[in-house]
Amino acid sequence: MKTKIKVMVFLLGGLAAIASPSIAHHSASAFDMSAPVVLEGAVVTEFLWINPHPLIKADYTDEQGNTRNWTMEMGSTVSAQLVGWTRTALLPGDVVTLYVWAAKSGAPVGRFNKVEFDDGTVLRDSQRGADDGGRSDQGLRQ
Amino acid sequence: MRVTCTGIIAGVAGLLLLPALAGAQSDAPRSPWKYYPEEARANEGPGGPAPVRDLTGTWLGESSGGGVPRLVRPESPPPLTPLGQQVFEQRIVEGPGVSVADTNDPHYRYCDPFGFPRNMNDQIRSMTIATIPDRTFVLLKFMNIWREIWTDGRDLPTRFTGRGADVHDPTYNGYSVGYWEDDYTFVVQTTGMAADTTWATEQGYPHSVDAVVTERFHRSSKNDLTVTTTMVDPRLYTRPVQMGEVYFRWSPRQTFFDFSCVPSTVQQYLEEMADPAGTGAAP
């Protein structure tokens, strides 16, 4: 089943990459959508399965050894479930690579794009999970 | 370019393999308590004729992942009176160029109830309709809201302001009556919606407490239900407003995800995420 989910998520990401971005529920005006920030080796500190938006919190240590705790929002719990997420998809202590559209404000917060696990699994945001920042759930909406 | 090519390859592969994956998933164990959007998407077509004068059951909306067509938005621009324009201009609607930190949408900032009619044109996830001899209930999954529609022939109340024993308190969902226009069309009229903190639409359209909203629930087949809405509100609009059409499909398993906005968690979201992210203006 896990393999099926991984394949489905990969395929949905591919579909999203060839689809035109549509207007998301929430504006992205606060975020730099030109390129995601990559938090490689980030350690998940908390995964809050809440509405209106689940929050991913993770410590990221940069090349200079400075650690910051990032907070990232994603689509609602319902939207996230439609693209493969569950309440326990991320757990504290998970070491992952996070892609995030960072806030222009400079605060360590942003709109979540995708997470890569060390086994190759990828989970994406519903609204901003495509590689170009578009939706990753186009196939689920007409 | 490399990313785009990868996406195209993955997308084409997806189009070819999705039917096989869907077939494989159908063999997986199913819980009667869970919602499986792929089942809803597989339930294609009309499914047979609509039953006579019957809307009972659970219906999936456009944001359910059930393959339901997107709604038709309210007419734009709205035909506002000068007073309506004044109210409308006070609303800072979240959208392109306006972040969550900017908006004064009372739902996005505080999880305030949408109120009617917004709860029938925004966050369209899932709806259950239930009927007893003198009433029909519309139960909305988003925020666990229920609307009460009287079908015993009573008239709508008319006074919501001023003094007197015949004044009715405005409510978030107003006062509703309903009747069958024909065997497949249930008409609901609603008035007396609290207007102080509610918007009529996500786009910030206003309504007054005296607005009268008419909904036509038309079931064209077993699987298809369309709700068409108009609003008459002479204080704020120069003519009746077309509030759009919302589509629903029959839910094969009659289930859906739980989904509510919780005031304490929206405050946490704003404090820890949306407000630090800011408005998009230079720091």
Q: How many contacts does A have with B, using Cβ atoms within 8 A? A: 155
Nearest-CA distance B154 → chain A (Å): 38
Range A2-19+31-140 classified under CATH 2.40.50: yes
What type of residue is B92? I
Looking at B98-102, B118-122, B189-193, B279-283, which range is the least confident one? B279-283
Q: Does A18 sit within 8 Å of B11, measured CB to CB?
A: yes
pLDDT tens profile B169-219: 999 999 999 999 999 999 999 999 999 889 999 999 999 999 999 999 999
* Interface touch A17/B273, C-beta < 8 Å: no
Complex ipTM tops 0.85: no
Contacts of A15 in chain B (CB under 8 A): 10-11, 14-15
Q: What is the pLDDT of residues B77-101, one digit of tens each?
A: 999 999 999 999 999 998 888 888 8
Give residue limits of the domains in chain B: 58-277
Give the separation between CA B176 and CA B148, rounded to whole angstroms.
Answer: 7
Judge if the upstream peptide bond of residue A52 is cis by omega within 30 degrees of 0. yes
Q: Report CB contact under 8 Å: B21, A4.
A: yes
Instruction: Pick the residue from chain A with its C-alpha nearest to B266.
Output: A52
d(CA B125, CA A45): 31
Instruction: State pLDDT tens for residues A56-74.
Output: 999 999 999 999 999 999 9
Closest Cβ–Cβ partner in A1, A17, A71 for B3: A17
Closest CB to B262 among A1, A50, A109:
A50
- Specify whether the CB–CB gap between A29 and A106 falls below 8 A: no
Pairwise CB contact (< 8 Å): B276 & A105 = yes
Beta-bridged to residue A102, according to DSSP, are A110
The model scores a pTM over 0.90: no
Work out the mean pLDDT of chain B and round it to a whole number: 89
Q: Least CB-CB distance to A105: which of B68, B260, B277?
A: B277
- Reported as a pLDDT band with limits 50, 70 and 90, residue B15 is very low
Domain ranges of chain A: 2-19+31-140
